[in-house]
Structure 1
Amino acid sequence: MDELQVVESNLHRFVAPSHVHQFLELVWLRSGSTVLCCRGQSHVVHAGCAFAIAPNEIHSNASSGNAGIRYQVLQIPMSVLKDIERQNGGGLLSMLRSDPLHVFPAQSAQRFYPALTRALKHWHLGGKARTDTGTLLGRLFQASRGRRSEAVPKHVSLHPAVVEARTILEHHCGERIELSELARAVNLNERYLLGLFKKASGISPCQFQLGVRADRARNLVVAGIPLIDVAMSTGFADQSHLIRDFKKFFGMTPSAFRKACTIDAVG
């Protein structure tokens, strides 16, 4: 599914295990605080601020304290990012690969985030909406300069076997893939592959695959697919397992997430 998604959450507490998204995630924290973990380091984001997580970047996050959090999320697909990069002469995707986590001060979030949301919702109309989107996104990222967590390491090239293993797990996320099978596919022994994968990703291949399943399930949930069909097509044992793991990753049940989500086609 290649669509812009805008998610508005209610006040709640949650802990999202390590996972990945295939889109750029822009989050505006309306109340409360959250702790982000990216590339082995942590960063606290407070109410009013916003942050961006690069596509395909493994991360986890959790609400901080007992009050819970309320937030708005823009999930921008790769097709839009590539168009913006072509429009602006390149550099956006390489910047995101190098600096996976960007934090935006509250004043900049208030100034640019609502306007960016409006521009993205009109992306499909072309023309000024697309120009405005590129301009606003550029200004927002400029505002993050000096705010990026210095604790987050720069981009490090992954071992080819880890890249291949991640690709296999992404393409076959609905299937049960044993570590032994994965090791044979990349021509390494199990223990060595597991060590490489954990060092590069911070999680095991099994945890990575579960994160991919949850992200695919999210797409199907907001598209209105029945939960039993979502579970079957994404590799969850049944609907109850889907609901349990979905709530771990996204802080709410699939039904609540569906109600909180609006979708606007782009492209």
Structure 2
Amino acid sequence: MLGERRVSAAGLVMAFNPDEPHDGQSAVHDGYRYRMLHLGEDLARETLDDAAPGRAGLPLFATPVVDDRALVRYVARLHAAVAKNAPRLVVEERLTAAVLALTRRASTRSALLREPQGRTDLAAMARARGMLRQRFVENIGADELARVAGCSRFTLYRGFRAAYGFAPSDYQRDLRLRRARALLAEGTAPSTAAVEAGFSDQAHLTRWFTRTYGVTPAAYRMALQRES
């Protein structure tokens, strides 16, 4: 409510309605740090309309301080993707997830946004997967995949995961990792393999390659060279 004082802390989400004046200061002498995302009205409305055409509307928050651990994870994952310049598919998937979570878990319109029911269109998902196979190196967006599949982005996200067990961005990353591994096996330098496989730089390749295969790209390439 206007004029009220609220106290937030680590592990909480602060959500403000459009044009709602607010200010803040530290409640302790050591100061404070926070991560902020500004989601414009048009962006939020477009995301919700994609998920529930004509039903959701713009969410309004009943309280500016939300104690919800799951919501914190959704917002933090989106912030990390934006801050680290993640691929478009990653950012767009996490944006949709965060906006839906904010609406369902913290807004006054949560009852209007329910999980849709229905079968997955496997042919549509196969078309989206085919495009990813052909163009995985490109920084392709969800709009293009949804257009090829003939569905909304939200339906694409849900359907792709239902059909294949992972998100479109996960599949794109897997294809890039496979391509990078093949290039490294041919003796290509990690920095070159990263670019040719679609990663933004060598650091991104190294992080995901190590996480997936348990060895750095450089070590993998060197081990194969020793065997040959």
Q: TM-score, normalised by structure 2?
A: 0.44
Higher strand share: 1
Q: Radius of gyration: which is bigger?
A: 2
